[in-house]
Each structure stands twice: as C-alpha cells, then as structure tokens.
C-alpha cells in the first residue's frame, strides 16, 4: 500500500515527501513547494479559472480542473499539466500560447495561464467554445479575442501519458489521514471504521474547506479509485450511474430522451467543475439548489446505498429529507444512481434560472416530466429547486395539470397552484416574489414548449 502521494507533473513522475498534507490544495503546492507560479489564484473558490490545470487521461482525454479546489491526495495516480508544461517545438511557446498572445487575447494577463490551459483542453475535446470558457473569467478583454483565438486552434496531437497504477493508498500527515481505497470492500470497511471522515468524491464542494476556509480536515476517504463507483451501464429502460463518476464522463451517456438533462448539466458549474464533480456529491450535499436533484425527482430516480452491513435501495424522493439533510447513515456510501429514461410519449424538460447563464448557481430550477395522451396530460411530475429548504416535487401543481387538456388554462392553473407547493427564501440570488413568479413562468414556458415546438423559446436559442 502506497503512503506517498505520486503523480505525473508535466510528464515527469513526482513523489511527494512523507508528511505532506494530503489536503493541501494543488494550487498551494504548485505555487509554493513546486515553485510553479504560472498557475494563478484569483478566488480560491473554483469560480474564476485562473488556477486551471489539466488532467491528462490515459485515453488521451483532457480534463481541465480548478487547482484551487483539488486536494493533493486526490491527485494520486493522475497526470497533471500546468502552463509551464506546455511548450512547443524546441522548448519555445506552445502554439496555443502563441495564438492567444497574437490574437490580443491578453491584457493584464492574470487570467491568461488559466485560459491557455482551458484552450489546450478544448483544442482536443472540442464542443461549444462558451462551454469551454465558462469556468474562466476575464475582466479585461471582453472575451472576443479569446474566442477568436480558440476558434483557430488545433489539437497538438501530443500523445497521452502512461499513468501509474494507483492501488489502495493511505497518506498521513500531522493530525491527518487520507484514505484512498481502490476497492468497494475496502471503502465500506473504512467507512464503517471512520464514520466521521469526510467522503470525498470530486471535492468541488468539499474542496472549499481547504481552499477558501483554509481548514485541515482530520480524516478523508477518497472515492475516486473505487471502480464500482466509476462505472456506468445502460439499457433501454435507463442508466445505472456510478455515484463518483464525474459529470464530464457521464455526459456522453445522456442521450435520447435524457438529452435535456445533459443540456442542463452542461450549465452545472464549468468544465473544470464537471471534470471532478459527481452526481453522488450533488446528492451528498443535498443543497436545495443542486442542479441535478429536480431532474432525479422528476424522473423518479433511485439510489443504491451500501455499507458494510449490506446494500439498500432508496428513491431519491425519500433520500432527501430537508435542508442539506438525507437518510444517509454515517457508515453508508451512495453506490449508484438508477436513472430511468423517459418512456415513449413522455417529455422531459429541464430548466435553470440564474443571473448568468453559465457557471452560476440557480435561483430557481425545475424539471418536468409529462406524459401526453390524446391531447391530455396523462401524468405530470414537476420538481423544483431553489423554492424551499430542499428540492421537491410540486404536488398541487402536478394535480392541476394531471388529466387536464393540453392547453394554456391547465398550465395557468398549475402556475396558480404552485404557490401552495413552495416556500422560497429571499437572498442575493433572488427574492421570494421573484422566485415564485419565475417558477410560474417556467410552467407557462412548458406549455409553449409543447404547443409550439417549432419556436425558439429561450433567449439563448436566438
């Protein structure tokens, strides 16, 4: 069993000295002991992207992450590339670096190393350039030159790394222990033995403890090396999703009737957040504004929960019990999420309202599953987030829709009934009055989505 944190840094193996705090953030380590100051700190909360580095996968994939949120222990067995590790022929600047400089895509330059890394990943991964940049703020340029540079970039065809095999490991430092189990049995044993330890999946919630709040958790159990928690399987009825599978790797599975869920998840955080963040973490946090939760409720998703005592099944609806409260026992771990596909004749709609379209927490979110038969709403499951202490179904609104003719009055009635279902708060993301009005607006928009599928119905569809 390994007791040293080891990873590839810019292609070269690194083994950290014994006693290195396993919860030190990768960013602090890079800028401090490693002397690599190209990677910047702009916020220490995962939102600005100045700290972006890239995890290189064995299959050639490139996953940008926020070095400020990643703990060193979590990096065990990974291959990390930083801005210093990007070089072109003969050691000069890499073409990605050159292109950004030549496009006048840098003014003060503080965001630039992070943008270089996001761009380097994008050059291989492709996709919507705004999605690639959602996790990188630039306060100077107005982004236009960055987008231009991005559009002109090509993959450098650099070969994938050969990753070290990471078996079960355990890292200790003064007052700290960080378990890195590589099997489910080992995980459940550790969980039973250390019910107070933090269960760390992607760390995009828990990482804030180390990063922003400068804490040194005493005990951590990391989930990322347990194969069962990383697996995903699917059939016609639905998917079984390992609880610790990062969103980035889940997305390709969400096709067909689940495509609206994929589109929503593309707005959860940023690529950096989705490279590490997981559904298990969204459930574990059980925040009323967790993006995935209304969707899991609307689809009637179930959980497989395990402990050394055995395994149990639990509907997500029963799992969530209050503000950041769940039925998870101290010795339990979420194993997998069973996600049914919408059946034929069922329509899934996923909504998220926030001040900014990308990389923002929802003020209101909604997920709606409707079964339409012969011009009537045969069944409706409506779930909202941000409208109370936890994500929950809106039963009165569901009742108003169910059985009604598929026309505007039914949705107006549902919107009116919604007021009985919810008890939103006022805070910086929105007042209670706005939240209710906007949630009602989502139900009205649902009508138009069904009535006028030919029309663009969102400002971002124009």
Partner 1 sequence: MTAHPAPPQAAARGMGAALRQDSALKHATGEARFLDDLPEPPGLLHAALALSPVAHGRLAPLDPAPALALPGIVAVLRPGDIPGRNDIASAGSNEPLLAEGMVEHAGQPLAIVVGMTRDAALAGAAALRPEIAPLPAILSLEEAIAREAWVMPPQEIRRGDAAAALAAAPHRLAGEFRAGGQEHFYLEGQIALALPGEDGEMTIHSSTQHPTEVQHIAARVLGCPFSRVTAVTRRMGGGFGGKESNASWVAAAAALAARHTGRPVKLRLSRKADMAATGKRHPFLYRWQAGFDGTGRILALDATLAADAGHSLDLTAGVVFRAITHALGCCDVPDVALRALACRTNTVSHTAFRGFGGPQGALLIEDVVHRVAGALGQPPEAVRARNFAGGENGAETPYGQALEGALIRRVWAEAQRDADWSARRREIAAFNAAHPTLRRGLGSMVLAFGISFGQMHMNQAGALVHVYTDGSIRLNHGGTEMGQGLFIKVAQVVASVFGVDVDRIALSATSTAEVPNTSPTAASTGSDLNGWAAHAAASAIRGRMAAVAAAEWGVPAEEIAFAEGQVTAGGNRAMEFGELARLAYMQRVSLSATGFYRTPDIHWDRAAMRGEPFFYFSYGAAAVEVAVDLLTGEHRCLAAHLVQDCGRSLNPAVDLGQVEGAFVQGLGWLTCEELWWDAEGRLRTLGPSTYKIPGSRDVPPVLRVRLLEGAPARSETIFRSKAVGEPPLLLATAVWNALKDAIGTDRLDAPATPERVLMAIRGG
Ligand X SMILES: Cc1cc2nc3c(=O)[nH]c(=O)nc-3n(C[C@H](O)[C@H](O)[C@H](O)COP(=O)(O)OP(=O)(O)OC[C@H]3O[C@@H](n4cnc5c(N)ncnc54)[C@H](O)[C@@H]3O)c2cc1C
Beta bridge partners of 87: 93
Of the ranges 29-37, 40-48, 80-88, 170-178, which one interacts with ligand FES (CB under 6 A)? Answer: 40-48
Considering the rule CB under 6 A, would residue 28 count as an interface residue with ligand FES? no
Question: What are 56's strand-pairing partners?
Answer: 62
User: Residues 5 to 34: which contact partner 1 by CB under 8 A?
Assistant: 31
65 binds, among partner 1, ligand FES, ligand X, none (CB under 5 to 8 A by kind): none
Q: Quick one: 105 or 190, whose CB is closer to partner 1? A: 105
Per-residue binder mask for ligand FES (CB under 6 A), 262-291, x = binder:
------------------------------
The 10 Å CB-count burial string (b at 16+, else e) for 105-133 is: bbeeebbbbbbbbbbbbbbbbeeebebbb
Q: Which stretch binds ligand FES (CB under 6 A): 106-114, 121-129, 244-252, 446-454?
A: 106-114
102, two tokens: 């030549």
Applying CB under 6 A, does 298 fall inside the site for ligand X?
Answer: no
- Candidates 26, 59, 115, 65; CA nearest to 246 is 65
Q: How many Å apart are CA 141 and CA 130, to the nearest integer? A: 15
Cβ at position 120, least distance to partner 1 in Å? 11
Residue from 5, 8, 44, 199 that binds ligand FES (CB under 6 A)?
Answer: 44
Task: Give the three-class secondary structure for 272.
Answer: helix
Mapped onto helix, strand or coil, the DSSP state of residue 201 is coil
> Residue 359 carries which DSSP code?
S
Residue 462 has, within 13 A of its CA and on its CB side, a CA count of 3
* Interface positions, 221-240, toward partner 1 (CB under 8 A): none
Q: Which of 145, 164, 167, 234 binds partner 1 (CB under 8 A)?
A: 145
Instruction: Indicate the residue among 117 and 303 with the shorter CB distance to ligand FES.
Output: 117
**C-alpha distance from residue 206 to each of 214, 243, 323, 428, 432 (Å):** 12, 16, 17, 22, 28
Q: Which two tokens stand for residue 96?
A: 């990605």
Beta strands 325-326 and 320-322, pairing class: antiparallel
Closest CA to 349 of 369, 323, 333, 335: 369
- The burial of 77, by beta-carbon neighbours within 10 Å (0-12 exposed, 13-18 middle, 19 or more buried), is given as buried
Q: Could you give the string, one character per residue 233-262, with x where binding to ligand X holds by CB under 6 A and - elsewhere?
A: ----------xx------------------
What CA–CA distance (Å, rounded) separates 299 from 379?
12
Among 146, 333, 394, 406, binds partner 1 (CB under 8 A): 146
Among residues 4, 14, 61, 107, the one that binds ligand FES under rule CB under 6 A:
107
What residues contact residue 318 under an 8 Å CB cut-off, 6+ apart? Answer: 327
| 175-199: burial string, b at 16+ Cβ within 10 Å, e else | ebbbbbbbeeebbbebbeebeebbb
Please, what is the minimum distance in Å from the beta carbon of residue 289 to ligand X? 6
CA dihedral of 151, 153, 157, 162, whole degrees rounded to 10: -80
Q: Does 281 bind ligand X (CB under 6 A)?
A: yes
Residue 47 as a binder of ligand X (CB under 6 A): the answer is yes
Query: Which two structure tokens, joined as six digits, stand for 125?
Result: 């991964």
How many contiguous H segments (helices) and E segments (strands) does the chain have? 17, 20
Q: Does 106 sit near ligand FES (CB under 6 A)?
A: yes
311-350 positions binding ligand X, by CB under 6 A? 328, 333-334
351 lines the binding site for ligand X (CB under 6 A): no
Binding to ligand FES by CB under 6 A, coded x per residue (else -) over 66-105, reads x-x-------------------------------------
Residue (22 or 269) nearer to ligand FES, CB: 269
- Residue among 16, 361, 410, 438 that touches ligand X (CB under 6 A): 361
User: What mask, x for binding ligand FES by CB under 6 A, covers residues 398 to 417?
Assistant: --------------------
CB of 79 to partner 1, least distance (A): 18
Question: Partners of 369 in the beta sheet?
Answer: 348, 381
Assess 430 for contact with partner 1 (CB under 8 A).
Answer: yes
Instruction: Please report whether residue 204 would count as binding ligand X according to CB under 6 A.
Output: yes
Q: Which one of 85, 181, 290, 424 is in contact with ligand X (CB under 6 A)?
A: 290
Q: Under the criterion CB under 8 A, does residue 122 sit at the interface with partner 1?
A: no
The closest alpha carbon to 302, from 282, 285, 319, 316, belongs to 316
Among 55, 182, 210, 276, binds ligand X (CB under 6 A): 276
Binding mask 94-113 for partner 1 (x = CB under 8 A): x-xxx-xxx-x-xxxxxxxx
Q: How far apart are CA 119 and CA 126, in angstroms?
A: 10
142 binding ligand FES? (CB under 6 A):
no
User: What are the residues binding ligand X (CB under 6 A)?
Assistant: 46-47, 198-206, 223, 243-244, 268-269, 273, 276-278, 280-282, 284-285, 290-291, 328, 333-334, 361
User: What are the residues binding ligand FES (CB under 6 A)?
Assistant: 41-44, 46-51, 66, 68, 106-111, 138-141
């Amino acid at each position: 069993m390994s007791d040293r944190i080891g990873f590839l840094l810019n292609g070269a193996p690194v083994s950290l000295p014994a006693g290195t705090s396993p919860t030190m953030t990768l960013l602090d380590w890079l800028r401090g002991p490693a002397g690599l100051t190209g990677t910047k700190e702009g916020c220490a909360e995962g939102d600005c992207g100045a700290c972006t580095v890239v995890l290189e996968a064995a299959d050639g994939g490139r996953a940008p992450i926020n070095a400020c949120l990643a703990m060193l222990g979590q990096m065990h067995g990974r291959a990390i590339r930083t801005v210093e590790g990007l070089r072109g022929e003969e050691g000069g600047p890499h073409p990605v670096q050159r292109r950004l400089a030549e496009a006048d895509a840098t003014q003060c330059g503080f965001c630039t190393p992070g943008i270089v890394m996001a761009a380097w990943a994008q050059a291989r991964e492709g996709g919507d350039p705004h999605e690639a940049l959602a996790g990188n703020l630039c306060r100077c340029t107005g982004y236009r030159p960055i987008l231009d540079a991005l559009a002109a970039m090509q993959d450098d065809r650099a070969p994938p790394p050969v990753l070290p095999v990471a078996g079960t490991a355990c890292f200790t430092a003064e007052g700290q222990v960080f378990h890195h189990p590589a099997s489910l049995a080992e995980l459940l044993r550790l969980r039973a033995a250390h019910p107070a330890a933090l269960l760390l999946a992607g760390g995009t919630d828990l990482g804030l403890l180390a990063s922003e709040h400068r804490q040194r958790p005493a005990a951590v159990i990391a989930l990322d090396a347990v194969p069962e928690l990383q697996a995903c399987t699917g059939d016609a009825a639905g998917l079984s999703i390992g609880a610790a599978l990062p969103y980035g790797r889940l997305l390709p599975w969400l096709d067909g009737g689940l495509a609206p869920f994929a589109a929503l998840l593309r707005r959860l955080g940023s690529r950096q957040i989705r490279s590490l963040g997981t559904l298990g973490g969204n459930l574990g946090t059980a925040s009323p504004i967790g993006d995935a939760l209304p969707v899991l409720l609307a689809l009637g998703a179930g959980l497989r929960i395990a402990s050394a005592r055995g395994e149990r099944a639990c509907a997500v609806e029963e799992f969530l019990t209050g503000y950041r409260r769940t039925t998870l026992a101290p010795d339990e771990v979420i194993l997998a999420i069973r996600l049914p596909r919408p059946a034929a004749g069922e329509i899934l709609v996923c909504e998220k309202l926030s001040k900014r379209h990308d990389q923002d927490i929802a003020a209101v979110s909604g997920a709606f599953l409707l079964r339409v038969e012969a011009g009537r709403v045969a069944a409706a499951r409506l779930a909202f987030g941000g409208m109370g202490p936890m994500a929950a179904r809106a039963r009165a609104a569901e009742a108003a829709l169910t059985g009604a003719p598929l026309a505007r009055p039914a949705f107006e009635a549902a919107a009116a009934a919604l007021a009985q279902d919810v008890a939103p708060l006022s805070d910086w993301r929105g007042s209670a009055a706005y939240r209710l009005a906007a949630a009602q607006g989502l139900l009205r928009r649902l009508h138009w989505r069904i009535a006028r599928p030919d029309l663009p119905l969102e400002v971002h569809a124009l």
